[in-house]
Structure 1
Amino acid sequence: MKSHAFAGSIALGIALMAMTGCTSSNTDLGCVTDQECKGERICGAAGRCVYPSGGGGNNDNNTVADAGADTTSDASTPGDTGGSDERDAIALDTGGDVPTADVAQDAPATDPDAADPGDADPSDADPIDADRPDTDPTACPTAQILTRLQGQTTWQTGDVSALPLQTIEFDATASGHVTAHEWTITARPQGSTQRLLPSNTVAQPRLFLDLAGTYDIDLTVTNHDAPSACTSSASVTITATPSDDVQISLTWDTPADSDQTDNFGTDLDVHYLHPNGRWDDPPWDLFWRNPDPNWADQNLDTDDPSLDIDDTDGAGPEHVSHSNLEQLRYRVGAYYYSDNTLDQSFATVRIYLQGTLAYEDANKEMPRTGSFWDAAIIDATDPTNMQVTPVDNIYAGFPNNTP
């Protein structure tokens, strides 16, 4: 558990509801006691690490999202016995509205931080009958997938374009008379650990898009009430594309950790360095202790980076987003904060420039606690032609060199 004092103002792209306490019922949401949280954060009422009201900066209601764990089983992710829930976000009221088969395409949400609060369960929506293609209980179903971004009210058919850190809701109730649903994630970005919640066997699950990339989702519906049990299948592809000028993701794999989705594991930290600064030294190094620095125009926040997700006990991801960069050269690194006696981890850094993957270095060995990977330089001196240059050096501790 991290014990550094917090420095820097707290504001970021993923907002959580203000929290006050913590009970034993929160074990599947990321924390149970204050000791499991970094720095000055405490374990909030929803089981997430938050800053106490009145502390940790000028915005008391905003926190760094701390990835938690989920104990819901999900056959769509073989081998997962735990799994992290949606990484944290604004609490939204889905309204319990019921989808219909006649849908229109909504414009994608513009807020990349609109993720699932974890308490709205679309499977509780009332079933529809009149709009189903066939409600004869003995008829074979026809699989139909409807989707929407959480927070929207209109459902759509077809493939989906979204932003990383958004949540997609699915609906299969327009498929006819169904006695069994099975959803399967058949493809996902490397390093993604999210699962369909509350399970992959409900009519209306949801999925948090923890990384940029493509997610393929299959649905199989079965009617066991037909004279001869019959099935039908459908699929949908979700493409999560960053909208920020720069997005950085850090994921990692720890071979000695038998379950990288529970509440115990290794802790790596992403670092994003301004050329004025030194590693591990706020305010010019962005990391968990300095998640939302004010780097450029002191009167604007649209030109500042933010740490969107901080994971302390597993495989990541950690996210940094930054738009409207100064015409400078920035550095990207990763620090092995704690191996928790699990030995080496293998880190992957991806850097997206204006929505396109510009750099990926996968499975870099981080030998032990205290290892630092100086990964790459982002050259924004020409904002119309930003470039990434690999550095790829491993140090025993912070090298304190600058771009």
Structure 2
Amino acid sequence: MRTQVGIVGAGPAGLLLSHLLALQGIESVVLENRSREYVEARIRAGVLEHDTVDVLIETGVGDRMQREGLVHEGLELRVDGHGTRIPLTELTGRRIMVYGQQEVVKDLIAHRLADGGTVLFEAEATSISGIDSDEAVIRFTQDGEEHELACDVVAGCDGFHGISRAAMPDHAYRERVHDYPFGWLGITAEVPPSTDELIYTWHERGFALHSLRSPELSRLYVQCDPGDDIEQWPDEAIWAELQTRMARAGWTLKQGPIVEKAITPMRGFVTEPMQHGRLYLAGDAAHIVPPTGAKGLNLAVADVRVLADGLAAWYADGRTDLLDRYSETALKRVWKVQHFSTWMTHMLHTFPNDPDGFFRRVQRAQLDYVTGSRAAATSLAEFYVGLPTIIRSDEEPSLREL
């Protein structure tokens, strides 16, 4: 097989990149080691930044999102039963959309296949070679047979555990990692949300979050030990912990059947650079942020917008400058988002080894400042709705927004 861009991974990054390239007349093949049914059912993040929403609409894959997504113009910070609303739209003029990542994936898959795009499911990439030459090769297996996909460029969008990052020479990149001493126990419940906007809760027993998925589905999280076994958390224990942490006078947390639950460790991770030769990493293959800031999917979208623009300039005009600066451009945003996600995580979670409560008092001071200062609330709001995606338009130092 031969294509222009070989894409490993059919998550939001790989599928959106394929879609953006197709709009520029650039061919691609997407390889996904899981089945279509698995990928479309995989529950992940659900908060879309302002620019993520806009790019899906502007490129023709946002119709269902506009019908079914939930527009939010604020969020609540809740501390010891007292809530403060952060008015995101009032402070920034921008908004967020709650629309499950798996729904974005469904829309992108349907659109790519309807347009004649090639997305190969249950096609496991086993090796990537030739990234220092003019033609790279992705070897993969499908239906028990081995295949080769030759391409000009490889986009590694296969997540933290994929093969793409491992295809980079050891000397060509560095990994920076921070593991947190806690995780999130996330549940999806068949019950109408108890809130119209997300609620982030600080409690001495640990962090809790009430998110939404639809008018019929709620998504909730509690801070837990990352080493916990999910069997240690029967449904009644989860609801009891949520009721305790999120309690507020005059407010009721609705309970219903839990249809999905899992424990996710929390990690910060960045690969520098995000490219070598003909291989470009995007999304979780290049970086992971703690989920407190709701940035994982949005950061992947920002990556592929920059990468697609660079590939379009290369194929159309032979320009290499945008591709050469892909890592430099993407990493500026990555580290700002790491900062925000780390800040939110440190402000809202209880940490072990704080016997005299020093760190908790610092957290309370942070929360008092954010909820009492318009300037501090604006800073949170600007990050939460999303920083603009930018690229260098030419050799001049000025920046333009995509």
Give the structure-2-normalised TM-score: 0.26
Q: TM-score, normalised by structure 1?
A: 0.26
Could you say which structure has the greater relative contact order, defined with CA pairs below 8 angstroms and 6 or more residues apart? 2
| Bigger helix fraction | 2
